[in-house]
Amino acid sequence: MVGTGRCIATLFVILVASTIEGADSPRMPIEELLELAQSVPEHYDLAEVATNCSHYIDENKVGLDERLTLFRLRGAVRLKYRNAFAALTDFQFCQEAVPEDPSIKWLTARALATTGKFDEATTICEELKVSNPQFAPAFATSAVLRLKEGKTEESIAQLTHAISLDPSLQYAYYIRASVLLKKREFKNAINDCARALHLPSDQFMTSTVEILLRRGQIRLFQGAWKYAAADFSRVIQISPDNQEAHYGYWKSNFAQHNYNIATKSALTLLELSPDSQRSLKVGSQTFAKTGQPHRALAMATRWVQLAPNNIDAKVQKAVALDAAGSDVQALAMLDAILKSSPSSKGAMAHKCWMLIASEQSELRDPKAALQLAQQLSETGNSSLFTAGLLAGAAAAKLNDMNLAQDWFKIARDNVKNSSQAESLKAIVDAINARRPVQIAQPPLELL
């Protein structure tokens, strides 16, 4: 026991000594930290920056100006990590010393907005815009607050003004791209992302990773799968565990029928987050498509267990049952879903597809499929392509070619991406060549 006690005491002394040595020997010189006050390049570790700031602040051996800079820097890092309340404490210290500093007021407004105090944040921004009309960041943050109120056009105007004041304000381009995405102005949004990527990056505001993710998401909306995959691939190179990037990379490759790559992405997501609903969804869809129906069913079943009220999870389980050859059970599950949730687009689409394409003749019912596709078309513009495709295929099965062409025209008028265009072309070509009509993809992938 004496020996054990001595070992513990020795270990305690070593730990205390190493802590003291760490306090006396910071990794970063004070001069380097002070230079980071305006902008932190991406190769810096923000957590390390904050730790070093705390060291010098606690040591209290630097002058007031240096302390203010360190508080501001640490607060900005804390704000980036969504620790807004701690950031507000740092900014409050700065504001008491320099109450008229516009950058401190602006940072305070951002922190208040992060804590949900939008009215207070808006008041500060409006005052800043009057007292410091050339201070571009105030207009950019004001735009974000306008967007939270649903004032899209005002938000764009504020961002455009911020850019006119400071064309190097990367954050303003990034936010404007996000707003333009909401308006489905994809080309302009892509252009803003490109401008942002060519400007010096600042981790306080927007990183290269965030901009690439946003551009990849815009390209997914465009159906520009190849270019989207390239953006997500770049993010993965920078940040290998970024789940948003792996999901985008999976989605863009899945849409291009690059199933080997998509499978690797699905497995990576399942490794990074094995019980997340998104990982299970991706896994189930991938395995159903790549001839592994039982793995697909296991994933979908797990998803339903985790989220028993999630309609999408139930639909995916029905899809997996269909892939596993349990057509009757799959249709019964889809019927149950539609009974409790009559407006489920996924359930309507997949049931319609099964009624058209089932290998069991007793389950095929193109007339019922046509009626269901008509119902799907009434759920909103976002469903018109899939509804037109399915209704056209059902009408062709019923040998009503005029009706089929009418529905295919509706589908053609609502094509959103290359995958949809390819699916429609394959069916129309089959009809024109008098070949049996087959739908190349389950409709869930086309919604």
pLDDT tens across 302-359, in order?
A: 999 999 999 999 999 999 999 898 999 999 999 999 999 999 999 999 999 999 888 7
Share of the chain above pLDDT 90, in %: 63
Q: What share of the chain is helix, strand, coil (3-state, %, to 5)?
A: 75, 0, 25
Q: Which of 22-31, 101-110, 158-167 has the lowest mean pLDDT?
A: 22-31
Residue 99 has pLDDT above 70, yes or no: yes
50-to-93, 107, 114, 157, 197 alpha-carbon distances in Å: 16, 16, 19, 35, 26
Query: Which residue from 238, 266, 235, 228 is spatially nearest to 250, judged by alpha carbons?
Result: 266
Spell out a b/e string for 265-275, using b for 16 or more CB atoms within 10 Å of the CB, else e.
bbbbbbeeeee
Residue 17 has pLDDT above 50, yes or no: no
Helix (H) / strand (E) element for 34: namely helix 30-35
Q: Which of 25-34, 276-285, 373-382 has the lowest mean pLDDT?
A: 25-34
Residue 264 has pLDDT above 90, yes or no: yes
Extents of the domains making up the chain: 343-447
The pLDDT of 24-32, averaged and rounded, is 72
Residue 45 has pLDDT above 90, yes or no: no
Residue 11 has pLDDT above 80, yes or no: no
Query: Which residue from 180, 171, 233 is spatially nearest to 205, judged by alpha carbons?
Result: 171
Cα(400)–Cα(407) distance, integer angstroms: 11
Cα(292)–Cα(301) distance, integer angstroms: 14
pTM for the whole thing?
A: 0.82
Spell out a b/e string for 393-426, using b for 16 or more CB atoms within 10 Å of the CB, else e.
bbbbbeebeebbeebbebbbebbebebbeebbee
Cα(429)–Cα(409) distance, integer angstroms: 14
Cα(231)–Cα(234) distance, integer angstroms: 5
Share of the chain above pLDDT 70, in %: 90
Residue 7 has pLDDT above 70, yes or no: no
Cα 318 from chain centroid? 26
- Amino acid code (one letter) for 389: L
HSE-up of residue 278 (Cα within 13 Å, Cβ side): 14
The pLDDT of 133-153, averaged and rounded, is 93
Q: Tell me what the pLDDT averaged over the chain comes to.
A: 87
Confidence of residue 29 (pLDDT cuts 50, 70, 90): confident
Task: List, in sequence order, the alpha helices (H) in 256-344.
Answer: 259-272, 277-289, 293-306, 311-323, 327-340
Residue with tokens 């902008």, as numbered in its chain: 39
The pLDDT of 93-112, averaged and rounded, is 93
Cα 209 from chain centroid? 12
Residue 10 has pLDDT above 90, yes or no: no
Structure tokens given for 193: 């992302």
Cα(447)–Cα(390) distance, integer angstroms: 11
Residue 36 has pLDDT above 90, yes or no: no
pLDDT tens across 222-249, in order?
A: 889 999 999 999 999 999 999 999 999 9
Residue 429 has pLDDT above 50, yes or no: yes
